[in-house]
Structures are given as structure tokens and as C-alpha cells.
């Protein structure tokens, strides 16, 4: 039987607000990471403020529509990134956000492994019908990784993002429950 | 298209803790009402205490609890209330409790009508898979009403509670989404 919280390269963890703030404050200062992960204006926030934000989130406790996770590598137990699932409870669909803050772990299959765990959680634990995500056109590495996990390109918002003087598209991808189940070859939790 | 909160005899409306707490002090004085509704010893509480409790229960927006009051269509008279609690969004299972306060309003089809409105709400608005309920063996009027709207007998806890010097069973009833859909004859909201 598969482990719900353990993949081939990473495992899912719940980090304390202190640990999250300590890493997040570094990741936030990496412009390329910010450009790939977000479309907001880059911001510099103090470690204390970030910690307070995570503490507030922790105080709110369990919410069935929100499932945030942290991620550590299996070999060094290094905290490298995060993902979160946001569920529309009425329609049983989820949106995913994912990121690897530690650059040394880009392009090595860690993100793909994380996304596989994320989809496993979404389809076997949250029992959603589909998982959606959006990404920037200028992030082909992410696109390839999502395709490997079974996501299909479903659409695009043309000239959506203005970055470095150029407007680029936002791409929308999705994977359906049946498609994911088929990929598992009956090997389920 | 049908109005989702309106039935043939009654409509569902929002809960006003001040109005409801006053009504509860009246209804709670009738021990038959409390015997049919709950198995705990019913203390007589002041309207103020009930109102405070209700306001606390309703604090914040919970995506899992749905409370309504029941009113007549013709005179807008407050008849009672109901609460639908989603047990698990992943399983899409819920539990319902319903009550009509005044004896003079019992046995007139108000509860049955309110239950059919809330089933429509559960299956077409919340997209749930199941609605469950518990009812005491000595409440045949309620059991008949639940059967009318499509609930099936699913189980019983034998000799579960005391009533008038005897022990009685607690019945569990439930209705599935497919069963409810079939009863609508294609006449959906």
C-alpha cells in the first residue's frame, strides 16, 4: 500500500510558523522564484510579519475548504517548498498552488513528485472530481512537470500578465478524477 | 424554476436568535415537544441564555452548518426550525434535525413540506450524496413524515433511551441522492 504523505523524493509535512517564516522570508527575496510563482507585485515582508500571518492561519484551525502542506526532501530532510489545495465544497473541485523555494531543487523531479502526492491527496482523501491550476506561459518547466502528472492544457487567458515590458498569457490546466484513476493502474491507497 | 426556499405550505427563512430564543422558551415548556426532539434532560433556560448560545453557535460563516426557521406561507407564522449539518464534504454525507414548536401545528403537513424543501436544498444546492436522521421509536408521526419524503429505514439502536418507564429504540433513516432524484420525475430546480 502506498503512503499518503511520502513520495519517491519528498514527503509532506506540517511545519511550525517559525520554520515557515524563516524559509519564506528567503524565498520571497528571490525575484525569479517570485516571477514564476506569482503575478502580484514583489514585496519584502519581515520574518516577524510572515510568522504572525502563519500563526493566524494556524489559529483558524482545520477548514474543509483549505489544505496547506509543507514539503521536505526524503534524503536530507530539507524543507524545500509547499503546496496547497483549495476546495469548492459544493461542486467538489479543487485548485492547487505549488512552489519550490530552494533553487537547488528546481528541475530535478522534486516538483513532479510533490504534485503526484498532491493529486493523490485530492482524489483519494478529498474525493474531488477535478483539480485545476494556472501558470505563466514563461514557465515551461512547470508546464512539462504538470503534463507528466496528467494535467491537460485546457485554455489560456491571452496577454494576461505584464512582466518586464512584455505581456504574456496565463495558461489553465486541469485533470479529472477518471483520468487520474486510469493513470494509477488500480494501484490505490 | 422553483423557488428554492418555498414549498406548498411553508417557506424556510433565516434564523434571528432574538426571535428564536423567545420562541424556544415557549416551546421548551411543553415536555412532550422536548421528549420527541431530544433525549437529554431539558433544563428551562431563559431567553437571554438561549440567545447567547445561539449567537455563539452561529458566529462566523461555517460552511458545514445550515440553520433555517420554518414559517407558514399564508400568515408568515414562525412554526419551528431545522438544522442541516454536513458530516463530511469528501463523503458528501449530512445529518438533519427538524422541529415544529406548537402542538396546534403538529400533524398538518408543515414538517413534511419543510423537509421536502430542505432535501431539495441538500441535493440541488449543496450537491450532497446522502441525508441522514435519527428518530425515536415513540414518534410514529415523525417517522411517517420522513417516509413520505423518501427516507428509508437503515438501522436501529436497540433500547437506546428511557421514556415513560420503558426503553425504546433509536431509528436511523437516510435518503440517497439517486433516490431523491428519481422521486422528482425530472422536475428539478
Evaluate if residue B186 carries a pLDDT over 70: no
pTM score of the predicted model: 0.85
Evaluate if residue B2 carries a pLDDT over 80: no
Q: Tell me: the pLDDT tens digits for B82-101?
A: 999 999 999 999 999 999 99
Contact state of B125 with A90 under an 8 Å Cβ cutoff: yes
Q: Tell me: the pLDDT tens digits for A113-131?
A: 999 999 999 999 999 999 9
Question: Any idea which architecture B10-184 has in CATH?
Answer: 3-Layer(aba) Sandwich (3.40)
The conformation of residue A6, written as its DSSP 8-state character, comes to B
Supply the pLDDT for residue A43.
86
Residues in chain B within 8 Å Cβ distance of A64: 63-64, 89
Q: Pick from A61, A92, A94 the residue to mutate for testing the B interface (most B CBs within 10 Å).
A: A92
Give the β-pairing of A130-136 and A93-100.
parallel
Contact state of A91 with B127 under an 8 Å Cβ cutoff: yes
Task: Give dist(CA B149, CA B110) in Å, integer.
Answer: 12
Evaluate if residue B47 carries a pLDDT over 70: yes
Average pLDDT over residues B110-119: 98
Q: Locate the chain B residue with the closest alpha carbon to A121.
A: B90
Residues in chain A within 8 Å Cβ distance of B63: 63-65, 89
Evaluate if residue B189 carries a pLDDT over 60: no
Contact state of B127 with A127 under an 8 Å Cβ cutoff: no
Question: Any idea which architecture A10-184 has in CATH?
Answer: 3-Layer(aba) Sandwich (3.40)
ipTM (interface predicted TM) = 0.74
The conformation of residue A121, written as its DSSP 8-state character, comes to I
Q: How many residue contacts between A and B have a Cβ separation below 8 Å?
A: 23
Nearest to B132 by CA among B96, B171, B158: B96
**Smallest Cα distance from B78 to chain A, Å:** 29
Q: Where are the domains of chain A?
A: 10-184
User: Hey, how many other C-beta atoms are within 10 angstroms of the C-beta on B114?
Assistant: 28
Alpha-carbon dihedral of residues A129, A184, A187, A125, nearest 10 degrees?
Answer: -30
Residue A51 half-sphere exposure toward CB, CA atoms < 13 A: 9
Span of A43-52, B108-117, B140-149 with lowest mean pLDDT: A43-52
Provide the terminal-to-terminal Cα distance of chain B, rounded to the nearest Å. 6
Amino acid at each position: 500500500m502506498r503512503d499518503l504523505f511520502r513520495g519517491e523524493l519528498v514527503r509532506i509535512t506540517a511545519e511550525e510558523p517559525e520554520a515557515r517564516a524563516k524559509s519564506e522570508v528567503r524565498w520571497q527575496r528571490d525575484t525569479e522564484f517570485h516571477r514564476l510563482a506569482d503575478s502580484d507585485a514583489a514585496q519584502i515582508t519581515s520574518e516577524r510579519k510572515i510568522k504572525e500571518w502563519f500563526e493566524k492561519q494556524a489559529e483558524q484551525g482545520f477548514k474543509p475548504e483549505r489544505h496547506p502542506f509543507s514539503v521536505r526532501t526524503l534524503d536530507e530532510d530539507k524543507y524545500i517548498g509547499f503546496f496547497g489545495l483549495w476546495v469548492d465544497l459544493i461542486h467538489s473541485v479543487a485548485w492547487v498552488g505549488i512552489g519550490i523555494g530552494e533553487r537547488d531543487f528546481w528541475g530535478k523531479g522534486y516538483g513532479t513528485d510533490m504534485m503526484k502526492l498532491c493529486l493523490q491527496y485530492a482524489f483519494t482523501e478529498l474525493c474531488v472530481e477535478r483539480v485545476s491550476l494556472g501558470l505563466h506561459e514563461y514557465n515551461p518547466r512547470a508546464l512539462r512537470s504538470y503534463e507528466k502528472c496528467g494535467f491537460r492544457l485546457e485554455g489560456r487567458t491571452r496577454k494576461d500578465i505584464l512582466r518586464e515590458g512584455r505581456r504574456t498569457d496565463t495558461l489553465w490546466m486541469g485533470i479529472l478524477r477518471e483520468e487520474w484513476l486510469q493513470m494509477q493502474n488500480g494501484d490505490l491507497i | 424554476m422553483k423557488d428554492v426556499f418555498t414549498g406548498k405550505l411553508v417557506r424556510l427563512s433565516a434564523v434571528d436568535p432574538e426571535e428564536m430564543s423567545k420562541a424556544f422558551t415557549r416551546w421548551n415548556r411543553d415536555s412532550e415537544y422536548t421528549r420527541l426532539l431530544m433525549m437529554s434532560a431539558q433544563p428551562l433556560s431563559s431567553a437571554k441564555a438561549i440567545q447567547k448560545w445561539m449567537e455563539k453557535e452561529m458566529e462566523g460563516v461555517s460552511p458545514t452548518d445550515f440553520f433555517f426557521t420554518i414559517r407558514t406561507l399564508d400568515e408568515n407564522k414562525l412554526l419551528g426550525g431545522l438544522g442541516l449539518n454536513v458530516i463530511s464534504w469528501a463523503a458528501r454525507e449530512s445529518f438533519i434535525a427538524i422541529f415544529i414548536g406548537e402542538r396546534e401545528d403538529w400533524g398538518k403537513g408543515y414538517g413534511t413540506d419543510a423537509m421536502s424543501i430542505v432535501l431539495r436544498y441538500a441535493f440541488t444546492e449543496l450537491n450532497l450524496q446522502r441525508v441522514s436522521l435519527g428518530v425515536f421509536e415513540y414518534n410514529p408521526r415523525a417517522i411517517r413524515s420522513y417516509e413520505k419524503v423518501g427516507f428509508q429505514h437503515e438501522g436501529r439502536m436497540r433500547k437506546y433511551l428511557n421514556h415513560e418507564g420503558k426503553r425504546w429504540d433509536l431509528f436511523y433513516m437516510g435518503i440517497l441522492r439517486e433516490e431523491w432524484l428519481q422521486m422528482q420525475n425530472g422536475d428539478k430546480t
